[in-house]
Amino acid sequence: MEDLKSKIEQANAEAVQRMFDAQPVWVDVRPALDVVPGMTKTTFLHAGPPTEWKRMCVPQQNAVIGAVVYEGLARDEAEARALAASGELTIAPSHHYGVVSSMAGITSASMPVFVVK
């Protein structure tokens, strides 16, 4: 068990060092569709692990509903909820697309995102 603890401590130390060594530069603000590989007009990215629509917490579901209306894919909350539950949308973890999303926030195609290199 001590060996595992040591490995975890070493990995954590390396991760922190990599963050300190990084030199990120904000280079642009663009619509997600233009800069996120694999993004489509029906892709909605969320923070957190993979999950099904019915298992998403209410704040995440509400964020998806708002984003669906924002994208013009539904006229109102009821229509957006039905579309999200239908399985016709791609609702995926943002880290699967190389993106960072905020807590219950959602990233959709036309939302502006920071481009950082």
Backbone angles phi, psi at 114, to 5 degrees: -75, 135
Q: What is the pLDDT of residue 104?
A: 73
- Looking at residue 55, the DSSP 8-state letter turns out to be G
pLDDT in tens, 78-98: 999 999 999 999 999 999 999
Q: CA torsion 4→7→13→15, rounded to 10°?
A: -100
The owner of tokens 């998403």 is: 56
Mean pLDDT value across the chain = 94
Backbone angles phi, psi at 113, to 5 degrees: -130, 150
Alpha helices in 22-112 (DSSP H): 32-35, 58-70, 77-86
